[in-house]
């Protein structure tokens, strides 16, 4: 993979065999090779997969809705309006309330949007923390052998031999349930996967010639690690990052479902589903909409990840 | 009547944008007990040809059709897949290039050897083990009994190639196809393996189709040479003639490119350009764009393989007459 | 095989400090957090009526006043004597309670795992054979749909649809009480009917990714050189497949089985709570919600041990299947 | 061949599930019972049930000739703490005791129903009760129930190792320890130096009669954890049913107790363990349950599904206590103003879906409820504002009352995850009234510590109170239920209430108590939520009726209506 600075430069290959006098060849057919930037080829292959694009569009739409929530709906997410829910009965979807109302008369469409905000925020920030912890540790473990590697491996064993779902539940039950705690817990318990991934990649790349060459050229170790080896590991990492975000969103909604995640009146999809369980017969839409939103978000993330993976090494498929 | 006769073999691959024709109208034949070398740059379709004879190509991507492939007079294309196993390993057997991955890493050498023997001869386990031990001794592996219980990863590359050869010869095939047997090995081992193959063929009067890109090996082991370029045979002759009077510019260029002590101080000769991808094969002579002797006709009309005397076949409008390799 | 034995013993030895670290960390975590388990244990109304002195006596009985470290070593001492201590909430010995529930959870998860493999592997191989066909793409998309469906939402929808509206399947528990002295087979059918939804849901969500993993695995193996050599040796297709190809496909499956051993305990807690199946998952989740410390520690210890044993088993399986690893 | 092996393996797996799961003895019964609840079309707008059409009890079903036989499946929330229900102080243990334990007497609203105790009378001095128990009552293992059992139980539970509330025996109900003497096998007397009117309250709620021949030599310390009398088949029961099987997390099976003093219709009674309200209602609809508690939101669905529905006034009583030690809330005007702001009707509509009634006092409608004595604060924001301004608070720029620099700001704490919706409804009531009202959800045990320690301004408070207000006294003395409000007149009124010789004296004392507490606006009095019970058509409940705690008076009167 060439990482030429000049994109789309047309570099005739003639110059390579300069030993022989340049031949006068009118048919340039065999030798012209447009050299595209690495990422543009990836993106071109990415667009060939319809589900990749579909995922991108859906995710973009969800993020837009989450951010532009105040503009999209006139209601606030915690505005109680008893007229909209006479006798505590949630109302079906109608013109003013797109997704209907919940038992306190709050507009359900607004709550779904703001719930999206919470879930996406938790998903992205939890994975960000995981990456922040995981990747540096992976680099250190992978590159500098010796005690650092051993220490980190034992640390990974410690975390991986603990049942993470169990511990996430435990810590959340003990801490005061709030968004920050959920992010912290999901972040702290998920990073071992990335460390293991980066470390194994580093181990295989360390022996490669280009690293020896860089070392021979006298580059400082830090530049070798971050400028040469790391870019190689990032691209295959994208898939597990997108799946990780999906996973974080799912576990957040699972926690809220058990009442350990977000507390009222902050809307979260998991809590809305838990609340809606009571009305499955009389008001089924209360549980359908948030469930759909969770599935759509996680699905689009998975599709993007998969399409990207296939774009990186088409041979794999 | 030749042992193996291949007429108008065409092999194509289902690429992203249509069928890429890798081998076009290839025909050749191999006499009994003769050693024929198939030479060419990598990517000219030689190992694909070997695989298609044994019908080992996986058909969805690959696409193979031939007028006829006669083995001892019978067209093996008609044999249904269910019965192909009778032919493979028994009449025709094959050695591959990469010894490191050609043996199953999780089963013992013994099992992989006896598997073949019992499949074809149907003898008991004990007999098969004894036969396997003899074969290993024949290919020169020390203490064969112990080796039978070992796993492939406990052996060196050369040793594994010997096991492959033992496996191939275990059922006394009539034709042995060796697909670049020595490329993956280092030089010292190469000679031993080549010698081993040559002896085996001579002793067992077994025909050999040796596929390689290294002219040195051809000189040692082969009786007849076929030079392939871009899916076609461009020159076919006995070993002696090929080395003495390479008529086709491509063969000529190849032989000149061999660095020898005779040319000290001179610049290496390199055939310019690269092998074109099958999509861009020109209608006319495929070597024309890279040929120094290309005349006007070469770019217009496709030459055919003709015999210009003494069994020397050429596919060229403007062959180099009497040209000596190191002229 | 002594090298193998040494390897196993070394791994077991490494387990001890890890287990010690895990339990210590969790115990500290639990005790330093706010709120006091007394409330959970005695229950809302009784605690309201208890006079402060009675509360103190109860706290003393539960041993909540002693310093944390002492309590931890007491607990450790119990473990070494093979008892998990008694649960705050029910006062019953924990190992008895776990014993009653572990059977159900293990069977539930084993059946789910078994069905996932039973359906996943052939589906994966079929997809590998007909690469990029309709089925292959469908399975690929389905595997992601399976992952992204939240389990609790799916179960609520399924119960509403099948149990309440269509009345095809019972929506609760493991046995139908209205059966009048059922024969053995009726009982089996009744249990199966009760299991269809919980097991079905987990299998459906897990199936896609299983088939997908299997497909990629199969594609890798089938294109290997030694499979071509086997075919070149003249072995018929059946022998090539079962003798060589599937043997190497088993390799990663072995490690996966080890990994999923841990899921046998905690895996299905959401399914169990919704379908009111008295399994270990629901038991440990309620223990967490009720702050029943001894039960939390017991289930945590058990799942940690299982996770470690799981990894050890998968390594051993890997050695058994793949001789290359055995030598290290 | 491989496929066959795989299928076989799958079958073995399922069989192993069944084997370790179900161990069922064949029940001797012929009627095949399946109970499809008819699926009536859902009505569009939820009809508000008025007083008449929801019966307080289940109406009598058309004349059923043979009430004997069959089985019913009732619902319980969770596994019993101990299958030996005598030693189980949890809620499930109590329901097991009411079905299988020898109950002396039971309260329904204010009325006493004799069970094991056949008759009783008080001598002219009012200090000696002579009680007579039924002759034909026996334990499930055949030994007759005699006065020895009763006296043994009384002494047994008086030992000081029983610190739990449930087992406090009569010492908790009465300052003095009554003397029990046996007259003959079936009569005994209870003598006290001071009139003991609350004896029946003790008999109805906290009195556990244990079989003497079983627990004779079980020391008090091991009573809770003893394995005596714990195997389901052999548990000695004195009630209409006996426990014959218990499957963890699934059900408790009880069968008819032949030695019961009355004829028991049902052959079998199942307690199905259904952890949450939703799965319970689903089970009712699919016919896996016959009778269950109905959540408010499911009321309309039950009506549409054509189920038998009955209302119970429930023993639980909830109010919002205002901490009188808090600087702002120590001023009674503020508390009265808040009571005016609190809109009971709105709470009934939004929180209880219209199923509830406005409440004046703090005593649930038991024997001594006296609504006229209570001071009722109707919903009137203007009056509230007048009261606030009367105490010197003035509206500041952004519409909140302020007094010498301090805002009229109050924080209401509640149990997170349980009371969220009610708290938000409460908060919406205070909008626009000039009071800054914050709500804060706290984790259960943290909330409980705050409430008991008194560091809160306003807090939700609920407690289950027995039929006789005597047992409120304990709450009044040492917990925050009454907002740390104490006064001498109140203390004296309580004592008179408890020791009054005749009901009239006790009624007068309790009326005074109710008047003073409501006058001091100790609580924001919350409306009373009607509890509902729903039953399938196959459930014969008319003779059974039920007590205020939602259990049946006569378990043995339940019967099965065969299809």
Measured CA to CA, the distance from residue C277 to residue C108 in angstroms comes to 10
| Nearest CB to D278; choose among A78, A80, A277 | A277
C70's enclosing H/E stretch is helix C68-80
Does the beta-carbon distance from A20 to B270 stay under 8 Å? yes
Instruction: Report the alpha-carbon distance of residue D325 to residue D322 in Å, rounded.
Output: 9
Alpha helices by DSSP H, listed for B29-124, are 46-53, 84-87, 99-102, 109-121
C-beta of residue A90 within 8 angstroms of C-beta of residue A281 = no
Tokens encoding D324 = 């009188």
Give the separation between CA B94 and CA B126, rounded to whole angstroms.
25
The tens digit of pLDDT for each residue in C282-321 reads 888 888 877 777 888 888 888 888 878 887 887 787 777 7
Residue A83 included in any domain = yes
**A31 belongs to a structural domain:** no
Q: Which residues of A touch D46 (CB under 8 A)?
A: 87, 89
Residues 6+ apart with CB under 8 A from D372: none
Assembly ipTM = 0.78
- Do the chains contact at C178 and D475, CB–CB below 8 Å? no
Per residue in C217-239, pLDDT (tens digit) is 888 888 888 888 888 888 888 88
Q: In chain C, which residue ranges form alpha helices assigned H by DSSP?
A: 2-32, 38-42, 44-49, 52-62, 68-80, 94-129, 134-148, 151-158, 184-222, 225-232, 237-239, 246-261, 263-266, 269-274, 280-290, 293-321, 323-327
Q: How far is B101 from chain A (nearest CA, A)?
A: 19
Encode chain B (327 residues) as per-residue pLDDT tens digits: 788 888 888 888 876 667 788 888 888 888 888 889 988 887 778 888 888 888 888 777 788 888 888 888 888 888 888 888 888 888 888 888 888 888 888 888 888 888 888 888 888 989 999 989 988 888 888 888 888 888 888 888 888 888 888 888 888 888 899 988 888 888 888 888 888 888 888 888 889 999 888 888 888 888 889 888 888 888 888 888 888 888 888 888 888 877 766 666 777 777 777 777 777 777 788 888 888 877 888 888 888 888 887 788 888 888 777 644 444
D82: which DSSP letter?
Answer: -
- Answer whether residue A125 is part of any domain: yes
Q: How confident is the model at residue A58 (pLDDT cuts 50, 70, 90)?
A: very high
Q: Which of residues 155-214 of D touch C (CB under 8 A)?
A: 163-166
Number of domains composing chain A: 1
- C-alpha to C-alpha distance for A53 and B128, rounded to whole angstroms: 59
Chain C contact probe: residue of A150, A160, A162, A292 with most C CBs at under 10 A: A162
Chains B and C touch (3+ CB pairs under 8 A): yes
Domain ranges of chain B: 2-222, 223-327
Q: Give the side-chain half-sphere CA count within 13 A for A257.
A: 27
The model's pTM: 0.79
Asked if D288 lies within 8 A of C172 by C-beta distance, the reply is yes
CATH class of the structural domain C99-290+308-315: mainly alpha
From the list D163, D224, D283, which residue is nearest C54 (CB)?
A: D163
Q: Could you tell me if residue A183 is inside a domain?
A: yes
Give residue limits of the domains in chain C.
Answer: 99-290+308-315
The 3-state DSSP class for residue A231 equals: helix
Tokens of B269: 């000769």
Q: Which residues of B touch C251 (CB under 8 A)?
A: 106
B255's tokens: 């032989």
Residues 520-549 of D with CB under 8 A from C: none
Q: Which two tokens stand for residue A299?
A: 């699905």
Residues B175-201 pLDDT 10s:
899 988 888 888 888 888 888 888 888
pLDDT given for residue A57 in this prediction: 94
pLDDT of residue A130: 92
For the beta sheet containing D316-322, the strands, ordered from the edge strand earlier in sequence to the opposite edge, are D436-442, D409-415, D458-464, D316-322, D523-525
Question: Which residues are CB-contacts of C121 (< 8 A; sequence separation ≥ 6)?
Answer: C210, C211, C214
Mean pLDDT of chain C: 79
- Whether CATH 3.30.559.10 fits B2-222: no
Kindly determine whether residue B280 and residue A25, on different chains, have CB atoms separated by under 8 Å: no
Asked if C170 lies within 8 A of D286 by C-beta distance, the reply is yes
Per-residue model confidence (pLDDT) at position A54:
92
The larger pLDDT score, comparing residue C263 to residue B6, is at B6
Helix (H, G, I), strand (E, B) or coil at C68: helix
In this predicted model, what pLDDT tens digit does every residue of C114-125 receive, in sequence order? 898 889 888 988
Range of the domain at A110: 39-316
Helix axis angle for A179-188 and A108-143, nearest 10°, is: 30
- Pick C263 or D265 by higher pLDDT: D265
**In this complex, do A51 and C145 lie within 8 Å of one another by their Cβ atoms?**
no
Q: Is C225 on the interface with B (CB under 8 A)?
A: yes
Beta partners for residue B29, in sequence order: B5
- Higher-pLDDT residue of D92 and D3 is D92
Least confident of B61-75, C192-206, C251-265, D301-315: C251-265
Of B90, B103, B153, the CB nearest to C229: B103
For residue B37, count CB atoms less than 10 angstroms from its CB and return exposed for 0-12, middle for 13-18, buried for 19 or more: buried
The answer to whether D199 and D129 are in contact (CB under 8 A) is yes
Secondary structure (3-state) at D93: helix
Angle at A107 between CA A103 and CA A109, to 5 degrees: 120
Distance, in angstroms, between D540 CA and closest chain C CA? 16
**CATH code of residue A163:** 1.10.3720.10
Contact D400, D408 (CB under 8 A): yes
Contact (CB<8Å) C288/A302: no
| pLDDT single digits (tens) C267-290 | 677 788 788 888 888 888 888 877
Q: In sequence order, what E strands does C24-94 have?
A: none
Inter-chain CB proximity D416 and A177 less than 8 Å: yes
Residues D402 and D467: their CA atoms lie apart, in Å, by 43
Any C CB within 8 A of D32 CB: yes
- The per-residue pLDDT for D8 is 47
**Residue D437 in tokens:** 């009202």
Torsion from C-alpha of A194, A195, A200, A205, nearest 10 degrees:
90
Which residues of chain C have a CB within 8 Å of the CB of D459? none
The C-alpha atoms of residue D395 and residue D391 are separated, in whole angstroms, by 12
Residue A10 lies in a domain: no
Alpha carbon distance B325, A279 (integer Å): 92
- Chain A contact set for D295 (CB, 8 A): 278
Q: Which pLDDT value is given to residue D411?
A: 93
């Amino acid at each position: 993979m060439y990482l030429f600075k000049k994109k789309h430069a047309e570099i005739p290959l003639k110059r390579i065999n300069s030993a022989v006098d340049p031949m006068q060849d009118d048919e340039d057919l065999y030798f012209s090779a447009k050299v595209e930037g690495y990422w543009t080829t990836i993106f071109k292959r990415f667009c060939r997969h319809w589900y990749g694009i579909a995922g991108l569009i859906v995710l973009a739409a969800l993020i837009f809705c989450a951010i532009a929530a105040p503009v999209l709906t006139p209601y606030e997410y915690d505005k109680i309006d008893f007229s909209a829910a006479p006798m505590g009965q949630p109302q079906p979807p109608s013109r003013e309330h797109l997704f209907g109302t919940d038992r306190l008369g709050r507009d359900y469409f607004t709550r779904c949007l703001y719930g999206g905000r919470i879930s996406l925020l938790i998903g992205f920030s939890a994975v960000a923390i995981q990456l922040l912890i995981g990747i540096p540790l992976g680099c250190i473990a992978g590159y500098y052998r010796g005690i650092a590697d051993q220490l980190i491996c034992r640390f990974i064993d410690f975390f991986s031999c603990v049942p993470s779902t169990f511990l996430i539940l435990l810590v959340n039950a003990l801490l005061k349930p709030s968004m920050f705690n959920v992010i912290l817990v999901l972040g702290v318990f998920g990073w071992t996967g990335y460390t293991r991934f980066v470390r194994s990649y580093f181990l295989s790349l360390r022996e490669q010639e280009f690293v020896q060459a860089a070392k021979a050229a006298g580059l400082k170790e830090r530049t070798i690690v971050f400028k040469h080896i790391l870019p190689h590991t990032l691209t295959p990492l994208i898939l597990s990052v997108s799946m990780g975000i999906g996973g974080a969103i799912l576990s957040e909604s699972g926690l809220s479902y058990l009442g350990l995640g977000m507390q009222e009146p902050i809307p979260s999809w998991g809590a809305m589903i838990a609340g809606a369980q009571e009305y499955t017969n009389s008001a089924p839409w209360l549980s359908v909409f948030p469930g759909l939103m969770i599935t759509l978000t996680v699905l689009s993330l998975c599709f993007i990840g998969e399409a990207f993976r296939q774009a990186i090494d088409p041979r794999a498929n | 009547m030749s042992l193996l006769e291949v007429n108008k073999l065409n092999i194509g691959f289902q690429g992203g944008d249509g069928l890429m024709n890798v081998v076009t109208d290839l025909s050749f034949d191999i006499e009994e007990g003769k050693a024929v070398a198939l030479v060419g740059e990598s990517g000219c379709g030689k190992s694909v040809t070997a695989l298609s004879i044994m019908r080992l190509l996986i058909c969805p991507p690959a696409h193979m059709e031939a007028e006829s492939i006669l083995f001892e007079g019978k067209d093996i294309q008609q044999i249904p897949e269910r019965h192909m196993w009778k032919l493979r390993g028994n009449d025709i057997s094959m050695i591959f290039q990469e010894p490191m991955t050609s043996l199953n890493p999780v089963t013992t050498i013994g099992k992989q050897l006896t598997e073949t023997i019992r499949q074809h001869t149907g003898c008991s386990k004990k007999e098969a083990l004894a036969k396997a031990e003899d074969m290993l001794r024949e290919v020169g592996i020390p203490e064969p009994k112990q080796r039978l219980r070992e796993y492939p990863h406990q052996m060196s590359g050369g040793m594994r190639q010997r096991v492959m050869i033992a496996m191939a010869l275990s059922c006394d095939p009539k034709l042995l196809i060796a697909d670049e047997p020595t490329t993956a090995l280092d030089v010292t081992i190469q000679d031993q393996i080549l010698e081993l193959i040559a002896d085996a063929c001579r002793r067992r009067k077994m025909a050999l189709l040796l596929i390689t890109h290294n002219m040195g090996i051809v000189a040692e082991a082969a009786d007849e040479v076929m030079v392939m370029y871009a899916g076609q045979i461009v020159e076919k002759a006995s070993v002696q003639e090929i080395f003495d009077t390479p008529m086709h510019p491509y063969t000529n260029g190849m032989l000149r490119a061999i660095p020898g002590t005779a040319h000290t101080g001179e610049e290496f000769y390199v055939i310019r350009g690269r092998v074109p991808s099958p999509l861009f094969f020109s209608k006319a002579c495929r070597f024309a764009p890279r040929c120094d002797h290309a005349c006007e006709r070469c770019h217009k009309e496709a030459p055919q393989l003709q015999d210009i005397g003494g069994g020397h076949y050429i596919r060229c409008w403007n062959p180099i007459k009497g040209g000596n390799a190191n002229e | 095989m002594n090298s193998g034995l040494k390897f196993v013993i070394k791994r077991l030895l490494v387990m001890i400090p890890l287990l010690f670290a895990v339990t210590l960390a969790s115990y500290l975590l639990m005790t330093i957090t706010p709120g006091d388990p007394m409330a959970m244990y005695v229950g809302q109304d009784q605690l309201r009526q208890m006079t402060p002195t009675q509360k103190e006596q109860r706290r003393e009985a539960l041993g909540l006043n002693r310093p944390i470290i002492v309590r931890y070593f007491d607990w450790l001492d119990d473990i070494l004597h093979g008892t998990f201590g008694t649960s705050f909430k029910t006062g019953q010995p924990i190992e008895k309670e776990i014993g009653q529930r572990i059977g159900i959870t293990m069977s539930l998860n084993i059946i789910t795992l078994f069905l996932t493999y039973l359906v996943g592997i052939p589906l994966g191989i079929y997809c590998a054979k007909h690469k990029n066909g309709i089925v292959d793409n469908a399975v690929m998309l389905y595997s992601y749909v399976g992952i992204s469906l939240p389990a609790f939402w799916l179960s609520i929808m399924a119960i509403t649809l099948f149990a309440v509206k269509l009345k095809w399947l019972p929506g609760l528990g493991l046995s139908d009480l209205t059966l009048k002295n059922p024969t053995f087979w009726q009982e089996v059918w009744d249990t199966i009917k009760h299991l269809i939804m919980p097991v079905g849901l987990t299998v459906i969500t897990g199936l896609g990714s299983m088939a997908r993993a299997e497909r990629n695995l199969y594609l890798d193996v089938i294109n290997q050189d030694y499979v071509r050599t086997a075919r070149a040796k003249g072995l018929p297709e059946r022998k090539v497949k079962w003798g060589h190809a599937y043997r190497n496909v088993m390799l990663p499956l072995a490690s996966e089985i080890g990994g999923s051993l841990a899921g046998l305990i905690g895996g299905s807690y959401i399914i169990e709570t919704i379908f009111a199946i008295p399994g270990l998952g629901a038991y440990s989740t309620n223990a967490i919600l009720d702050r029943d410390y001894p039960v939390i520690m017991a289930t945590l210890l058990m799942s940690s041990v299982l996770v470690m044993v799981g990894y050890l088993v998968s390594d051993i399986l890997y050695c058994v299947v793949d001789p290359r690893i055995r030598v290290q | 061949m491989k496929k066959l092996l795989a299928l076989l393996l799958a079958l073995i797996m399922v069989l192993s599930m069944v084997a370790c799961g179900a161990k069922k003895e064949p029940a001797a019964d012929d009627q095949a019972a399946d109970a499809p609840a008819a699926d009536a079309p859902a009505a569009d707008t939820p009809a508000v049930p008025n007083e008449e059409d929801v019966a307080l009890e289940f109406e009598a079903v058309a004349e059923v000739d043979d009430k004997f036989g069959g089985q019913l499946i009732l619902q319980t929330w969770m596994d019993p703490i101990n299958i030996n229900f005598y030693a189980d102080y949890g809620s499930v243990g109590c329901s097991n005791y009411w079905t299988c334990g020898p109950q002396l007497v039971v309260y329904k609203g204010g009325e006493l129903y004799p069970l094991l105790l056949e008759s009783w009378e008080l001598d002219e001095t009012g200090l000696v009760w002579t009680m007579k128990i039924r002759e034909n009552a026996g334990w499930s293992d055949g030994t007759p129930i005699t006065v020895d059992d009763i006296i043994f139980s009384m002494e047994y539970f008086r030992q000081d190792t029983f610190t739990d509330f449930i087992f406090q025996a009569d010492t908790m109900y009465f300052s003095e320890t009554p003397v029990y003497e046996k007259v003959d096998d079936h009569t005994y007397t209870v003598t006290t130096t001071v009139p003991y009117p609350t004896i029946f309250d003790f008999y109805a709620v906290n009195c556990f009669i244990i079989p003497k021949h079983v627990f004779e030599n079980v020391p008090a310390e091991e009573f809770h954890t003893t394995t005596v009398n714990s195997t389901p088949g052999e548990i000695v029961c004195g009630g209409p049913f006996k426990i014959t099987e218990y499957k963890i997390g699934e059900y408790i099976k009880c069968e008819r107790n032949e030695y019961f003093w009355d004829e028991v219709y049902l052959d079998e009674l199942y307690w199905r363990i259904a952890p949450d309200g939703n799965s319970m209602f689903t089970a009712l609809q699919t016919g896996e349950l016959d009778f269950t508690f109905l959540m408010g939101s499911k009321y309309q669905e039950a009506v549409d599904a054509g189920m038998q529905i009955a209302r119970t006034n429930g023993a639980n009583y909830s109010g919002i206590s205002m901490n009188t030690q808090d600087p702002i809330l120590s001023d009674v005007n503020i508390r009265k103003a808040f009571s005016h702001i609190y809109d009971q009707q709105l709470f009934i509509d939004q929180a209880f879906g219209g199923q509830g009634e406005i409440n004046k006092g703090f005593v649930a409608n038991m024997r001594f409820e006296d609504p006229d004595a209570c001071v009722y604060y109707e919903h009137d924001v203007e009056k509230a504002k007048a009261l606030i301004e009367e105490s010197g608070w003035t509206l500041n720029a952004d519409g909140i009352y302020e007094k010498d620099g301090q805002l009229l700001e109050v924080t209401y704490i509640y149990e997170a995850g349980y009371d969220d919706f009610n708290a938000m409804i409460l908060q919406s009531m205070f909008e626009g009234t000039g009071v800054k009202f914050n709500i804060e959800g706290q984790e259960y045990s943290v909330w409980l510590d705050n409430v008991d320690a008194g560091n809160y301004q306003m807090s939700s408070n609920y407690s289950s109170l027995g039929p006789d207000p005597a047992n409120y006294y304990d709450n009044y003395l040492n917990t925050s239920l009454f907002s740390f409000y104490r006064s001498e007149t109140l203390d004296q009124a309580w004592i008179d209430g408890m020791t009054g010789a005749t009901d009239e004296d006790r009624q007068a004392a309790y009326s005074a108590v109710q008047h003073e507490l409501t006058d001091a606006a100790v609580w924001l009095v919350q409306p009373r939520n009607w509890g509902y019970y729903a039953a399938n058509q196959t459930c014969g409940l008319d003779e059974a009726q039920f007590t205020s705690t939602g259990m049946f008076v006569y378990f043995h009167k339940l019967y099965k209506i065969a299809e």
